[in-house]
Amino acid sequence: MEEKLIPDPCLLGPLQLAYIGDAVYEIYVRNYLLSNGNINSSRLQQRAEKLVKAQAQHEALQIIAPLLNEEECRIVHRGRNQKHKSKPKNATAQEYNSATGLESLVGYLYLHRRLNRLDEIIQTIFNETCQDV
């Protein structure tokens, strides 16, 4: 299947970036879990859910925040401050907003093909948060 990217990702809003960022982040998580041993599918799903929930993404953003450049901080800020029509179910508003900020950044880096930087950020998150997963 030939991959088609958005012609100009700069035209997307924060929630659209978060939409694709959510999917990309989930793939990174699943790839990480699969690369770390032979685990049954039910346990894989439990571990993946633990890593992609809003609380975990909020914590991940706290870890990488000092490492972000000005442009990346601006993307996170736009995503975090975006108004949501839905209310978070299992997270505080702050956690949910932070998760949206992180997902916006992941989507932005992915669509701009800054994959080395995306890998670096994701690896930093996993190094700091995945010891007990």
User: pTM for the whole thing?
Assistant: 0.89
Q: How far apart are CA 10 and CA 55, in angstroms?
A: 28
Residue 120, H or E segment: helix 115-129
What pLDDT digit, counting tens, does each position of 71-128 carry? Answer: 999 999 999 988 776 767 788 889 999 999 999 999 999 999 999 999 999 999 999 9
For the chain, first and last CA: distance in Å?
Answer: 33
- If one compares 17 and 38, the residue with the highest pLDDT of the two is 17
Helices 70-81, 93-111: axis angle to 10 degrees equals 130
Phi, psi of 85 (to 5 degrees): -80, -30
DSSP secondary structure code for residue 87 in this structure: P
pLDDT at 107: 97
**Alpha helix segments (H runs only) across 35-92:** 41-52, 54-64, 70-81
DSSP secondary structure code for residue 8 in this structure: -
Asked about 132 being catalytic, the answer comes back as no
Name the band, by pLDDT with cuts 50, 70 and 90, for residue 133: low
The CATH fold assigned to 44-133 is Ribonuclease iii, N-terminal Endonuclease Domain; Chain A (1.10.1520)
Name the band, by pLDDT with cuts 50, 70 and 90, for residue 65: very high
pLDDT at 131: 65
Active-site pick, 8, 22, 119, 132 = 22
| 37: alpha, beta or left? (left if phi > 0; alpha if psi -120 to 50) | left
Helix, strand, coil tally for the chain in percent (to 5): 70, 0, 30
DSSP secondary structure code for residue 85 in this structure: S
Boundaries of every domain in the chain: 44-133
pLDDT at 5: 64
